Amino acid sequence: MAGDVLLDRGAGLIFPASYALIASAHMKRYGTTLDDLALVSLKNHQNANLNPLAHFYHKRATLDDIRNSPPICSPLRLFDCSPVSDGAAAAVVSAERRSHEDVEVVASGMATDTLALAERADFTYFTASRIAAAQAYEQAGMEPSDIDLAEVHDCFTIAELVALEDLGFCQPGDGKHLIREGCTARTGSIPTNVDGGLKADGHPIGASGLAQVFEVVTQLRGKAGERQLAKASTGLTHSVGGIGGTSVVHIFRKGD
């Protein structure tokens, strides 16, 4: 149900192949490289090594491991793809303030687009993510620069890079610079997927979006252990269905 059976699946366009097309289009237009994608993967694996709940906890992945991993759908390699993981997540949502550890949901944006890539004019961004992000920022009265950490839907490494652009953390095509300059690292200006992301924390499909919420809330409460960020007052989660056919963006704020 997350992909178009007639236009995409019927032509053999499974998800890795779809995201491979997105990666190829982004590389051609903006000069993004395989090494940029490898740095996304490396950062998320390093973060997962600090997360006891992660699929790849205690499983080291070096840059050479990533670069030399076998091709899945060119240009994507094995370490560009998230694992399908077993997992579950839960959250308690209440209108009542109960303690100083409460985290406020200050915005929720949701948008849809075509299911099929064949029906889109441009593969280098997700319209649904851009709309959902704009809705969330407006509701929260915030700008991208107000966000302290982000959990984005990195089912493939190119998806994280595109998300950084769609969420307004940089201009279109500049996601590679955030990666190269370490801005998305735990010590960077916009720490991204500090739990390891779908890439290395794991992708339990239906539970993935709520697992992002768990990480942001844990960070805002200051209870993330070794991976705790020095600054964590606001956080954003970004979840995608299919190949950007749907997108949901939430913004959270630390309680007073």
Tell me the percentage of the chain whose pLDDT exceeds 70: 100
Exposure string of 139-152, with b = 16+ CB inside 10 Å and e = fewer, is bbebeeeebbbbbb
Average pLDDT over residues 199-209: 95
Distance separating alpha carbons of residues 106 and 25, to the nearest angstrom = 35
CATH number of 9-254: 3.40.47.10
Instruction: For residue range 18-31, list pLDDT tens digits in order.
Output: 999 999 999 999 99
Average pLDDT over residues 1-13: 84
| Confidence at residue 175, expressed as pLDDT on a 0 to 100 scale | 98
DSSP-derived letter for residue 144 is G
Strands (E), 30-186: 71-73, 76-77, 103-112, 149-151
| Confidence at residue 58, expressed as pLDDT on a 0 to 100 scale | 87
In this model, does residue 1 exceed pLDDT 80? no
In this model, does residue 244 exceed pLDDT 90? yes
Res. 176 pLDDT band, cuts 50 70 90: very high
In this model, does residue 241 exceed pLDDT 80? yes
In this model, does residue 100 exceed pLDDT 90? no
User: Which one, of 73, 104, 91, 117, lies nearest residue 207 by Cα?
Assistant: 91
| Confidence at residue 212, expressed as pLDDT on a 0 to 100 scale | 98
In this model, does residue 200 exceed pLDDT 90? yes
Average pLDDT over residues 72-101: 93
Question: Exposed (0-12), middle (13-18) or buried (19+): which is 227, by Cβ within 10 Å?
Answer: buried
pTM of the model: 0.96
Res. 256 pLDDT band, cuts 50 70 90: confident
DSSP-derived letter for residue 150 is E
Tell me the percentage of the chain whose pLDDT exceeds 90: 89
Res. 203 pLDDT band, cuts 50 70 90: very high
In this model, does residue 206 exceed pLDDT 80? yes
Average pLDDT over residues 224-248: 96
Instruction: For residue range 55-70, list pLDDT tens digits in order.
Output: 999 899 999 999 999 9
